Structure 1
Amino acid sequence: MKNKTAKQISIKKRLIISIVSITTLLILLSWIFIFNQTKHEIKEVYDARLSQSAKILALTMPNIMKTSIHKQAALYEYWFDTMQKMTTNDSTETKLGHPYEKNFIFQFYEENQLVFKSPNAPKKALSKINTAGFGVFEVDNEQWRYFQLKIPNDAQENIYILVAEKQAIRDEVITEIALSTSLPQLLLIPALFFITLFLVNKFLSPITELQKAVALRNINHLEPLVISHPTIELHPLIMQLNYLLEQLNKAWEREKRFTRTAAHELKTPLAILRLNAENALKTDNLTEQRSDLNNIITSINRTDRLIQQLLMHSRIEGQHNIESSTINITSVLRDVIAELVPLALQQHQQISLHPIEHCQIKGNATLLAILFTNLIDNAIRYSGEASNITIEMQTRNTSESNELQILIIDDGEKIQDNIRDRIFEKFFRANSGKGDGAGLGMSIANDIVKHHHGKLQLQEYNKQNKNVFIISLPYDAL
């Protein structure tokens, strides 16, 4: 079954769309609420103006009734007609008023008879006589909103005044006012989009910068990532990436170093193998052939040991967090000595162990076995025939630390000071004539001790011209 590549998503795009969409929805809901609420409030204000106009007219009607109604109507009609002639459109103001007055009318009734009205008002009654309050009527397919008020009088007559305005104009004005009040919120939507786009691009710029910095890294360019504007959120990621780059760079350097070292160190053994093989092919003397073949086996063994040392060095050098467990260090030493005794017997050497029974430390048994093997094998190879090799275990307790010390002592030829100072260097071979390795045994041993937070030293033993390797390992954390 083929694995389908998951579709890539853009965090930036999703963030912008989500923020703008949610905010737009909230703005629209808010706008609808404000628009309707504004219309409702303005409608109430307009209704209040109608009722107030009716009351003001009602208070002035007694004075109007004292004069000729016809004169008053003629005067009002003169004002209205003159104003209409003075205007060119519905928005032109004049000294006599505003043309929008044609959208407002009033009527005055006395005992069910129309007594007085505005010039543009119809002559018929626009509402039910003797009915007070708000209502809507229709004239010539146009709706009007009205308010009719009964005027109290001493004669107990039915006197009413009606004030009305055209519903279409009223709705238009109410809608315009409501829109002008809430429209700025709609303008926030495009502004919000551009502001969100700007802020997201600005605040996510460190991610873009990090992306570009990572894209520049390759096997030949593994420098740490540096961001000009680091953020708290990206800091752990950058630290981890830099840690991985550092480990990758070290691994790559180890790889190159191992390749160069292997090529250099294997060149001589292979040349010797080739020379011995060529000599064996050229001669018909069985004794010389046997000698050449023995030399080939010796060279193969030496090459095998060299390769093992190179691989072990590469493995130890690449270790960072070793797996630890509680181990019996005495048992590890006994197992190593048992494996190396045959090699010591070939040179008539004696190996003795002065143990601390049931001594347990925290460490890696495999690496510690390699450590002891390298040091004891080194003593067997270089201390000479009939020498004595002693392994002592002792504890050393101070106010600062508790240490387990393992001393590997041999009575071979004393190691000179100039060699002692360099013995733990990589590829340093003090006895190139006797050794068959790459000069990595002591370096490997030193690295293993460091991985166990210990210390490895080479000293002269009690001024007795004996060589002693002292391994100090902490054991207080057991």
Structure 2
Amino acid sequence: MDGFKKRLNASIQRKLSFSLLLAILGVALVAGIFSFVSAFDEAHELQDDTLRQIAALFDRQHLPLAHLGDDGRTQGSDEESRVIVQYLAGGGKAAGQGDAGAPLPLPLTLADGLHTLKVGSEPFRVLVKTTASGERIAVAQETGVRDEIARDSALRTLMPFLILVPVLLLIVADLVRKMFLPISALSAEIDQRSEQALYPVETADLPAEVRPFAVAINRLLARVGQSMEAQRRFVADAAHELRSPLTAMSLQAERLAEADMSGMARERLAALRRGIGRGRKLLDQLLTLAKVQAAPDLPTSAVSVQGIYRRVLEDLMPLAEAKRIDIGVEGAQDALVLVSELDLMAVVRNLVDNAIRYTPAGGRVDLSLTLEAGGALLQIKDSGPGIPAGERVRVFDPFYRTLGSDQVGSGLGLSIVKAIADRTGAEVRLADAAQAAPSGLSVSVFIPKAKLRVG
């Protein structure tokens, strides 16, 4: 019972539905009892009127009672629903309490009007009337029969309640569910948004009671958007400010390399230049990440995937040749995707750069393109160590690097890929490139709404 109360209090819809159902059932029960009692009493009134009409008919028509038979009822009539008519007093025709021929042994002293008497072991409803000729007649009916008829009549009045109340309960439950549909739709719409989708919630179709809550959500989204924009501006400004001194340090290191120095000093200078290079690359990655997290630029034209592949391979081929890595594109199929050229270039470049860096010398990196489900599937496979299944969610976090990796990097490459994918509606999946170890890594990027390029 406590669990039911907790579930009831946790949901306004359940609480409202339950309260309405209880109210309807309570009103229906009271109305049903009132209707039953009223119909029961009215049926008794009608039966009393029937006794009066029978008595009036005998009085007006002066009908003899002999044709009713010795037991006071018509031959072949229903035993249970019979109405008994007999003389109560009237000279030689008197049929009273000591008359063996009388159907019912009724007291002769009964006053005119309606009486409820117990005759023998059966209760009777008796109407006593004095006719115009001075004779007294009694019209009687068993109360058990009367009650059964009245009960059947009253139960028939309850049939509409028994049919309509369940229908009303279903209608009310359905109406309450439909009334809360805008709230469910609003919840689903907000839940399906990406972290970058901070545009306001539409409030025109919401109920007046929910609209203030939606307006408050819109204000919160605006504040979050302003805070994120301030963070992006800070990262971009900091990267720009740091780029100038790093460039100056790089130039000074190049000039210093031209001077005469000892072997140990030259080794330390080489380490310094490598550190400066890593810092410049980190700044470039930070600027790229800040840019892709900003408001998206709508693409004006479709981009060729094979064209992007060629440009990326031209830029990164020296890095692959330095490690003797066999890199290339499988197949000649091309597709046009409605994505910003800079975004697609950043995605492919970061994935290929990671594949080359983490693939051992003499390894292999393959790029491929297939069309499926109305979209383009870009795949970059390598023969490197791969990524453990438990870390495939974490690797998309900024600055996260796989444990045990001896490669130098910023940890922002996959974060940039994920940010661009979320912003453009693409999907990034990580899997093993092969079944046997070492399995390598296969990165798939599915871009919807692509079309085959012929020629």
Q: Answer yes or no: same fold by TM over 0.5.
A: no
TM-score bracket, shorter-length normalisation: 0.3 to 0.5
> Greater Rg, structure 1 or structure 2?
1
TM-score, normalising length: structure 2: 0.45
